[in-house]
Structure 1
Amino acid sequence: MEILVVDDNRDICMLIENILISEGYNVQSCCNPQDFNTIIEKSKPKLIITDMLMSGFDGRTLTKDIKQNPQTQDIKIMLMSAHPDASKISETIGVDDFLTKPFEIDDLVHKVQELLKTT
Structure 2
Amino acid sequence: MVKLLVADDEQKICRLLESFFVERGFNVMLAHDGKEAISCIRNERPHLVFLDLHMPGLNGLDVLKEAHLVDETIKIIIITAIEDEETIRKAKLLGATDYVIKPFSLEYLKEEVLAKVSTSLYEDLRTSNEKLKRSLDDLRQVTRGLVSAFSMVISKIDPHYTHEHVSRSVEYAAKIIAKLRQRGMLFNGMSDEVLLAGILLHDVGKIFTPKEILFKPGPLSDEEWKIMRQHPVDGAEILEQIAGLKEMAKIVRYHQEAYDGSGYPDGLKGEEI
- Structure 2 counterpart of 1:73, one-letter code: E
Write the distance in 2 (CA, Å) between the matches of 1:32 and 1:61.
12
How many residue pairs align between the two structures? 117
1:19-51 CA distances to partner (integer Å, 9 max, x unpaired)?
111111111111233212322232111111111
Identity %: 27
Asked which structure has the greater CA Rg, the reply is 2
Write the distance in 2 (CA, Å) between the matches of 1:90 and 1:100.
14
Match of 1:35 in 2: 36
Moved over 4 A (4+): none
Q: Which runs of 5+ in 2 are unaligned?
A: 125-273
Q: Which runs of 5+ in 1 are unaligned?
A: none
* Contact 1:90/1:98 (8 A) holds in 2: no
TM-score w.r.t. length of structure 2:
0.40
Higher relative contact order (CA 8 A, sep 6+): 1
* Contact 1:8/1:33 (8 A) holds in 2: no
Match of 1:76 in 2: 75
* Contact 2:41/2:67 (8 A) holds in 1: no
Write the distance in 2 (CA, Å) between the matches of 1:2 and 1:72.
14
**Aligned runs of 1:1-119 on 2, under 5 Å?**
2-67=3-68, 69=69, 71-85=70-84, 86-103=87-104, 104-106=108-110, 107-119=112-124
TM-score w.r.t. length of structure 1:
0.86
* Contact 1:20/1:27 (8 A) holds in 2: yes
RMSD: 1.7
Write the distance in 2 (CA, Å) between the matches of 1:84 and 1:24.
29
> 1:3 Cα deviation (Å)?
0.6
- Structure 1 counterpart of 2:88, one-letter code: S
